[in-house]
Amino acid sequence: MDYKKQLVKFRIDKIAELSVILFVVPFVIAAALNILLVKRPLLLTGKVYFDIMIMIAVYLVGLVCHEGLHALGAMLFAKKTPADISFGANLKQGMLYCHVKTPMKNASYQALLLLPVIVTGIIPLIISVVFGNIFLVVAFSLLTSGGAGDIIMFSSLLKHDKKQLILDHAQAPAYYLVYPENELPETFVEVTETQEEELLEEMKKPNQGSRNNMLKILAVMIFLVLAVAGIFVAALFMKLF
């Protein structure tokens, strides 16, 4: 049976914007809980530079595990083999990626997108709040934010049938809706070579958000910094009285 593909792509600047928010919000909340309620010591080893080295190591290992979990998800949920999976890196965009070469059902694709965000981000972030310290909170907040593209792609898939065939894009935050040639929906727009070339050109450019997006991000960061400062002031006030 012959198949046709429709490209669905996502803007790098929007992913970058969400990534910042997904770092700042969890970090502010987790840091406040870690320091004020759980009252864990600020240093894990007693030495700032050792803690920083541990934080960087945890983050780098987490990045590799993130892509490995995409691959594991493809094998568990979509029944793919190692031959169906490849890995790569785009240094200009500052991203690693795992690519599944063959189509899979929408439900399977959704599961493999979210698996790394939950396992390397959300769950260890919660654990680090209770048993870790602020440096681990930073590391796992960063790893949570690294799932911004996965979360955006996941949310876009919710409007499609769970049995819809999806083909992962090899090098970009994008995927294809795959249809049998005799079952094309009315809204179908077949991907063109021009679209493919333009997308690949976008991925060769350095990752830079627009001025408006950066202003939005700055506003959110200022608000959250003021919020956590308010928590500390409130805690201090309660101790005094």
> How do strand 95-100 and strand 165-168 relate by DSSP bridges?
unpaired
The answer to whether the predicted template modeling score (pTM) of the entire model surpasses 0.75 is yes
Q: What is the pLDDT of residues 216-232, one digit of tens each?
A: 555 555 655 565 566 55
Asked if residue 37 is part of any domain, the answer here is yes
Q: Token match 């450019």: residue?
A: 205
User: What's the token pair of residue 43?
Assistant: 């240093």
Comparing 35-44, 53-62, 93-102, the range with the smallest average pLDDT is 35-44
Q: Which domain holds residue 53?
A: 3-230
Minimum mean pLDDT range among 46-50, 71-75, 205-209: 205-209
3-state secondary structure of 206: coil
pLDDT of residue 111 exceeding 80:
yes
Q: Is residue 241 part of a domain?
A: no
What's the domain count of the chain? 1
Does residue 209 lie within any of the structural domains?
A: yes
What is the per-residue pLDDT across 198-213, written as a single tens digit (0 to 9) for each? 888 887 776 544 444 4
Q: Return the closest-CA partner of residue 120 out of 147, 80, 97, 82.
A: 147
